[in-house]
């Protein structure tokens, strides 16, 4: 059984942006599926699909990311192999075009899990990834948003509570031919965030988690709340005791996000057999999935 699921954020996605979100997650699904069906690894499928979404300016990851309160773009990403339990992550890194690939490099070539800021840039350079220009990541839509937000609070809990705050983080989970579950997440964080603020996305067990014996998860939404309930690990732990029921576990996770931390967001989940599930408590969530048993796949916003 092969299985692949991607997301492109959970929030009140406006009608005018629906088509771009749908097209983005559909293309990312096709890219990941091509890797898996060609015999490639789950890690490769997750990295390639997320690279595509980072390059697509529709989403808050890589190019198109939100801008922090100083007018800079700081990126977070993580990736995990659920069989080897190796993982890699970057936090608050600047001028890196594809942070998911840097996270993978840290997973593959470093003894560490999470490297932040200038250290991550240094590790990238030492391993052949050069910094890009700020203009390669910044798009007019986000410059405009940043200008409008100046003088306002850095993060509005109230907006997150309503699911109104833009939340276009991207993520993917794969089950490959060797039974490996891999998961990854990439984001520019939240609009006008405090410099150095790090969300759930690069934190293993919060935004991303994979255990090939149980399942894998990628999250999106209000990072501070997701961290408080260690959402991705909570969902995997739930699948360990509920017979691998991905639907029930994803609903359980979102319920816990709301009741314990008053949070809003969405999750994509695969159980160890590759059964996909999605849950969110925002008005909309962009997602797409396909398994060997569902060759047509599903794209929904």
Active site residues: 169
Phi first, then psi, for residue 96 (nearest 5°) are -115, 120
Report 226-245 residues binding ligand ASP (CB under 6 A): 226
The Cα-based distances of 204 to 36, 54, 133, 217 in angstroms read 23, 20, 28, 10
Query: Contact with ligand ASP (CB under 6 A): which of 221, 253, 263, 274?
Result: 221
Tell me which stretch binds ligand ASP (CB under 6 A): 14-22, 116-124, 185-193, 254-262: 185-193
By the 8 A CB rule, do 203 and 228 touch? no
Which segment (12-20, 33-41, 141-149, 219-227) binds ligand ASP by CB under 6 A? 219-227
Our finding on whether 191 is near ligand ASP (CB under 6 A) is: no
Kindly state whether residue 218 participates in binding ligand ASP, applying the rule CB under 6 A.
Answer: no
Residues 252-291 that bind ligand ASP (CB under 6 A): none
Calpha distance 223→241 (Å, rounded): 26
- Options 85-93, 103-111, 138-146, 199-207: segment touching ligand ASP (CB under 6 A): 199-207
d(CA 57, CA 262): 30
User: CA angle at residue 146 from 140 to 150, to 5 degrees?
Assistant: 150
Give the tokens for residue 255. Answer: 């319920």
Helix (H) or strand (E) holding 2: none
Determine if 69 is a binding residue for ligand ASP (CB under 6 A): no
Token duo for residue 40 = 């490639």
Residue 189 is a binding residue for ligand ASP (CB under 6 A): yes
Interface with ligand ASP in residues 29-68 (CB under 6 A): 60
Does 168 interact with ligand ASP (rule: CB under 6 A)?
yes
Spatial separation of the C-alpha atoms in residues 250 and 244, rounded to whole Å: 11
- Interface positions with ligand ASP (CB under 6 A): 9, 60, 167-169, 187, 189-190, 199-201, 220-221, 223, 226
């Amino acid at each position: 059984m092969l299985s692949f699921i991607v997301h492109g954020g959970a929030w009140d996605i406006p009608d005018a942006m629906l088509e771009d979100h749908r097209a983005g997650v559909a293309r990312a699904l096709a890219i990941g599926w091509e890797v898996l069906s060609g015999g490639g690894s789950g890690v490769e499928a997750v990295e390639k699909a997320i690279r595509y979404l980072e390059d697509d300016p529709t989403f808050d990851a890589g190019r198109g990311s939100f801008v922090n309160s100083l007018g800079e773009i700081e990126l977070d990403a993580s990736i995990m192999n659920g069989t080897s339990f190796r993982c890699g992550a970057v936090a608050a890194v600047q001028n890196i075009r594809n942070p998911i690939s840097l996270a993978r490099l840290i997973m593959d070539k470093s003894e560490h899990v999470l490297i932040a800021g200038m250290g991550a840039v240094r590790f990238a350079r030492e391993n052949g990834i050069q910094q890009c220009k700020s203009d390669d990541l910044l798009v007019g839509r986000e410059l405009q948003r940043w200008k409008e937000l100046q003088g306002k609070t850095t993060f509005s809990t109230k907006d997150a509570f309503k699911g109104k705050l833009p939340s276009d983080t991207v993520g993917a989970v794969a089950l490959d031919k060797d039974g490996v579950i891999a998961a990854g997440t990439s984001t520019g964080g939240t609009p006008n965030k405090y410099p150095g603020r790090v969300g759930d996305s690069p934190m293993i067990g919060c935004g991303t988690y994979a255990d090939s014996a149980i399942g894998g998860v990628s999250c999106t939404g209000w990072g501070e709340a997701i961290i408080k309930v260690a959402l991705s690990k909570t969902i995997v732990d739930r699948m360990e005791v509920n017979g691998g029921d991905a639907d029930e576990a994803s609903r359980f996770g979102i319920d816990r996000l709301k009741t314990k931390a008053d949070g809003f967001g969405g999750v994509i989940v695969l159980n160890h057999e590759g059964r996909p599930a999605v849950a969110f408590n925002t008005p909309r969530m962009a997602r797409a999935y396909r398994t060997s048993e569902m060759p047509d796949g599903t794209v929904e916003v």
